[in-house]
Amino acid sequence: MTATGWTDQLARARLHVVTGKGGTGKTTAAAALAVALATRRPGHRVLLVEIEGRQGIAQLFDTAPLPYAEQRIAAAPGGGEVYALAVDAEAALLEYLAMFYNLGFAGHALRRMGAVEFATTLAPGLRDVLFTGKLKETVGRTDANGRHRYDAVVLDAPPTGRIVKFLDVTRAMVDLAKVGPIRGQSEGVAKLLHSGDTAVHLVTLLEEMPVRETLDAVAELDAADLRPGAVLVNRIRPARLPADAVAVAATGGLDQAEIGADLKQAGLALAEDTLGDLVTETVEHATRVRAELRARGHLADADLPSLDLPELTDGVDVAGLYELAEAMTEQGVR
Amino acid sequence: MSRPYRPPSVDVDALLDDPATKVVVCCGSGGVGKTTTAAALAVRAAERGRRTVVLTIDPARRLAQSLGLRELGNQPKPVRVAGFTPKGELSAMMLDMRRTFDDMVVNTAGPGRADQILANPFYRTISTSFSGTQEYMAMEKLGQLAATGEWDLIVVDTPPSRSALDFLDAPQRLSTVLDGRVIRMLSAPARASGLGIRKLVGAGFGLFTKAVSTIIGGQLLQDASAFVQAFDSMFGGFRERATATYRLLRSPGTAFLVVATPEPDALREASYFVERLAAEQMPLAGLVVNRTHPVLADLPAGRALATADELDRAGTAPLASAVLRVHADRVTVATREKRLLARFTKAHPSVAVVGVPALPADVHDLGGLREIAMRLAGV
């Protein structure tokens, strides 16, 4: 399987949920996707949302910690703007309650007492209800002319292990609250998350465990009638060896003497030790490339569109984000 | 050229061999290889003659299999794998969070009351899906293992939380919930005396209670209230145990190894954790940096690339050229890793560091663990 790009269906989605195993670069991929979706689209607004209080977005964009307010965080190449929002569970709860009750002064006092944190900690799904509710609000919000405030919303979501529980939490709420405004609200959220407006993208590396988790998550999403979007294959490293040399090298079949002679011919005479070390490095590289090819083969089972994201040699910084966003638009993200 | 500052290195073998070392805790953010590190250390300690047990939290299936663990067993089981004949002993277990909690309730509350608690729906929620329970139970299990006195050395893996600090903070959070003051307030605000809360927030509180019970379900709140009443009498014992384990973590027989990978996020988490351990006066043995890519061949990258370009122009030796480019890539990666690590070391110059070069493939047998252990020990 090679990168197969972005489909029309994905181009129509308005809520992009980005999940992945821990350590695969989920936050980075989500941020790059937000920039890519705004690229070369003057007047476009994309909102990037994080929910677990780690301020990963602020660190990526090298800005001060985000408050619980939407603020412009970056301009995409060729017009388009990226906004960011760090949802705070406590503030979201008070906001949520205010939709149904007039709490007045009590809200503030309860917050100070820690009762709000307590309530959100007590019911494991409550935080998720609040987060998904807030997401729906940002996706659905319109201005006076009926135009959507945001053309797309990108969520740095919980990891693959928790993603279905997270997205499906409102279904449980629908069962819990039999009638009333909360039921109505929950139904609305569930409808959005299960519709074609939402795509759940999976970030992975070409390694065994992340690929397995990705495939498991795809099956779980399918079973829950949620829509897997694209697989974002992160940290792709350049393949240096000629394809036919990979298997030979990985199984220790490199001819050190021949390589040494070729290098000497080119004016690079190396000590036998150094030459041996070079060969060892190449064997390790080949072993990894083989494992990556196997991982690609397994990923193909998911039968989803996929994007390749190159490894950033200098590490992730703002320039690197734009580089990843560029790679995404080149592969059809729009 | 000024020599770069080199941090002290972790002498893993000395740490494992020291009879005074009773507990080694591997902590760090998710996905950095904590479980593998813990398992590898335990294998090495056993081979070096200590009676060792490793407590893993959520091992990947193949890693569990490499220790001969096929299923969740809440008690340590001797590791019996062909070709593994350690001088000492090695047992391994996976934490069963629910069962540990159940056992604790039964032991503390006595049979009658325990049944009442175990049947409570709120207890079921807390014992399986509360975000701090896994951390709390890992601590509880560590306390139990230490109390048996059967082991020279206990190696502990920590739960795969987002933040390494959760391991230290979660028990406190759970404890706050179980303490029950807030539940009592929510379920019977009129009787919350002494704090004057009702007076302070007035009618709004009733609304809040109503709102919360609408959202999380009135039934859940009632269950919570019943649970807290049943739990009240054993709460003291509960907290005492947690305090005892906490004391164990602070004792000189305990060594924390903070695990990271050479990535900015993982090292940032490691930094937080190191600072926190210092603040809590908990004994830090050092930082393990997993999956590094040190350069093997002594050849400047520029020279390698120039020669590769020349070979490509001639077009006669594609393989030799590829070998040089692989090397240049490796130099780039190693340079970045060193730079990231230098940043950590600058902030924490006294923290000992050990780098563990990446294995080209995943670990799935004891041989792989042994290889990791050798890299940890620097041999």
Distance to chain B for A190, nearest Cα, Å = 16
Q: Compare A262 and B243 and report the one with higher pLDDT.
A: A262
E-state strands within A173-227:
198-204
Distance to chain B for A265, nearest Cα, Å = 9
Residue in A with minimal Cα distance to B213: A119
Distance to chain A for B55, nearest Cα, Å = 21
Rounded CA-CA distance B243/A4 in Å is: 55
Q: Which whole-number Å values give the CA distances from B307 to A110, A261, A263, A278, B361, in the listed order? A: 69, 13, 8, 14, 30
pLDDT at A105: 60
Residue B82 touches partner A, C-beta closer than 8 Å: no
Q: Compare B268 and B153 and report the one with higher pLDDT.
A: B153
pLDDT at B195: 46
Rounded CA-CA distance B178/B224 in Å is: 9
Question: Which of B62, B200, B212, B327 is the best substitution to test chain A (most A C-beta atoms within 10 A)?
Answer: B212
User: In the structure, what pLDDT confidence band is assigned to residue A282 with cuts at 50, 70 and 90?
Assistant: very high
Among B82, B317, B64, B115, which Cα is nearest to A209's?
B64
Average pLDDT of the segment spanning B175-200? 53
Q: Which whole-number Å values give the CA distances from A291 to A296, B34, B234, in the listed order? A: 9, 22, 52
> Which of A86-100, B210-224, B249-263 tops mean pLDDT?
B249-263
Distance to chain A for B332, nearest Cα, Å = 7
Does the distance separating the beta carbons of B202 and A105 come in below 8 Å? yes
Scan residues 130-189 of B and list those with Cβ closer than 8 Å to A.
130-131, 160, 162-163, 173, 176-177, 182-183, 185-186
Q: Compare A139 and B217 and report the one with higher pLDDT.
A: A139
Distance to chain B for A186, nearest Cα, Å = 11
Distance to chain B for A87, nearest Cα, Å = 17
- Own/partner contacts of A310-317, CB < 8 Å, gap of 24 or more, are A310/A235, A310/A236, A310/A237, A311/A235, A311/A236, A311/A237, A313/B332, A313/B333, A313/B336, A314/B336, A315/B264, A315/B336, A315/B340, A316/A25, A316/A28, A316/A60, A316/B264, A317/A62
Residue A282 touches partner B, C-beta closer than 8 Å: yes
pLDDT at B282: 87
Among A283, A106, A271, A309, which Cα is nearest to B205's?
A106
Instruction: Flag the least confident range among A181-185, B257-261, B267-271.
Output: A181-185
Average pLDDT of the segment spanning A196-214? 93
Question: Which of B219, B269, B323 is the best substitution to test chain A (most A C-beta atoms within 10 A)?
Answer: B323
Question: Which of A110, A117, A213, A298 is the best substitution to test chain B (most B C-beta atoms within 10 A)?
Answer: A110
Cβ-based contacts of A62 with chain B (< 8 Å): none
Residue B203, pLDDT > 60, answer no
Residue A124 touches partner B, C-beta closer than 8 Å: yes
For residue A315, give the amino acid letter.
G
pLDDT at B347: 94
Rounded CA-CA distance A192/A151 in Å is: 15
Rounded CA-CA distance B330/B326 in Å is: 6
Rounded CA-CA distance B379/B374 in Å is: 5
Average pLDDT of the segment spanning B17-30? 92
Tens digits of residue pLDDT in A79-129: 899 999 999 877 887 777 777 666 666 666 666 656 666 666 555 567 788
Average pLDDT of the segment spanning B134-147? 87
Cβ-based contacts of A103 with chain B (< 8 Å): 204, 207-208, 211
pTM of the model: 0.83
User: In the structure, what pLDDT confidence band is assigned to residue B82 with cuts at 50, 70 and 90?
Assistant: confident
> Which of B12-16, B65-69, B279-283 tops mean pLDDT?
B12-16
Instruction: Flag the least confident range among A85-94, A215-224, A276-285, B251-260.
Output: A85-94
Residue B254, pLDDT > 90, answer yes
Asked if residues B109 and B234 have their Cβ atoms less than 8 Å apart, the reply is yes
Among B272, B201, B283, which Cα is nearest to B249's?
B283
Q: Compare B221 and A63 and report the one with higher pLDDT.
A: A63
Tens digits of residue pLDDT in A159-174: 888 899 889 877 766 6
Q: How much of chain B, in percent, has pLDDT values that exceed 90?
A: 42
- The pairing of beta strand B284-292 with beta strand B254-260: parallel
Rounded CA-CA distance B336/B319 in Å is: 26
Residue B193, pLDDT > 70, answer no
Tokens standing for residue A137? 């609000």
Minimal Cβ distance to A118: which of B182, B303, B329: B182
Residue B211, pLDDT > 80, answer no
Rounded CA-CA distance A297/A233 in Å is: 13
pLDDT at B1: 43
Residue B344 touches partner A, C-beta closer than 8 Å: no
Q: Compare A182 and A290 and report the one with higher pLDDT.
A: A290
For residue A91, give the amino acid letter.
A
Average pLDDT of the segment spanning A297-303? 94
Residue B319 touches partner A, C-beta closer than 8 Å: yes
ipTM of the shown complex: 0.85
Tokens standing for residue A176? 């819990």
Minimal Cβ distance to A263: which of B205, B224, B307: B307
Q: How much of chain A, in percent, has pLDDT values that exceed 90?
A: 60
Tens digits of residue pLDDT in A237-250: 888 999 889 999 99
Cβ-based contacts of B204 with chain A (< 8 Å): 103-107, 109-110
First to last CA, chain A: 22
Tens digits of residue pLDDT in B154-184: 999 987 665 656 667 766 666 666 665 666 6
pLDDT at B171: 64
**Would you give the distance in Å from CA A130 to the centre of its chain?**
20
Rounded CA-CA distance B50/B60 in Å is: 25
Residue A1, pLDDT > 50, answer no
Q: Compare B212 and B147 and report the one with higher pLDDT.
A: B147
Give all strands of the β-sheet with B254-260 in edge-to-edge order. B77-78, B89-94, B51-56, B153-157, B23-27, B254-260, B284-292, B353-357
Instruction: Flag the least confident range among B1-5, B258-262, B374-378.
Output: B1-5
Does the distance separating the beta carbons of B362 and A23 come in below 8 Å? no
pLDDT at A103: 62
pLDDT at B189: 44
Distance to chain A for B287, nearest Cα, Å = 18
Tens digits of residue pLDDT in A213-269: 999 999 999 999 999 999 999 999 888 999 889 999 998 889 999 999 999 999 999
Instruction: Flag the least confident range among A44-53, A95-104, B304-313.
Output: A95-104
pLDDT at B247: 84
How many contacts, defined by CB atoms under 8 Å, are there between A and B?
A: 195
Cβ-based contacts of A275 with chain B (< 8 Å): 297
User: In the structure, what pLDDT confidence band is assigned to residue B191 with cuts at 50, 70 and 90?
Assistant: very low
User: In the structure, what pLDDT confidence band is assigned to residue B192 with cuts at 50, 70 and 90?
Assistant: very low
pLDDT at B190: 41
Rounded CA-CA distance A72/A89 in Å is: 21
Q: Which residues contact B297 (CB under 8 A, 6 or more apart)?
A: A274, A275, A277, A278, A280, A281, B327
Average pLDDT of the segment spanning A293-299? 94
pLDDT at B264: 84
User: In the structure, what pLDDT confidence band is assigned to residue A177 with cuts at 50, 70 and 90?
Assistant: low
Does the distance separating the beta carbons of B317 and A313 come in below 8 Å? no
pLDDT at A281: 95
Rounded CA-CA distance B362/B379 in Å is: 20
Length of chain B: 379
Asked if residues A153 and A193 have their Cβ atoms less than 8 Å apart, the reply is no
